[in-house]
Amino acid sequence: MTLSHVNKAGKASMVDVSGKELTERIASARVRVKLNAEAFEAVSENKIKKGDVLAVANIAGINAAKKTSELIPLTHQINLRHVNIEFVLDRESSEIEITSEVKANDKTGVEMEALTAASVSALTIYDMCKSIDRKIEIRDLRVIFKAGGKSGKFENE
């Protein structure tokens, strides 16, 4: 088995994608943030002292997707065409489900950008709510959709 991120000397290396063709790349990731009832209500009613939690988490996720290559050492710089973050609030479970979607026309996939966007959105919610809830859980981070390139379509709902 040949590892893609290891060079002939056995050292970590960025994959050479220079010979690949540009194709439309799309990826989506999902994560859940579990809050206590008080924190969940404060978020849903926009009563967190630090500001509008979901608006800030949205911008944080978009910025994170754009900065992925600076955060994850062997990822490529991607010229993103679209980043969308969606939040679904589940009052019954006091959870916020975050879904990110990232698009680009590039030579390599954008699943790392989607994962980074979703996780930083979740971390932002944590940061803004930690004074109310010290037991916030971030869980179930995963890629739920990927398309483009030679590996084709992948779905993991």
Residues forming the active site: 127
- Grouping H, G, I as helix, E, B as strand and the rest as coil, residue 70 is helix
130's CB contacts (< 8 A; 6+ apart) are: 136
3-state secondary structure at position 81 = strand
What are residue 105's phi and psi, to 5 degrees?
A: -110, 105
Residue 98: count of CB within 10 angstroms of its CB:
28
Q: Are 109 and 149 in contact (CB under 8 A)?
A: yes
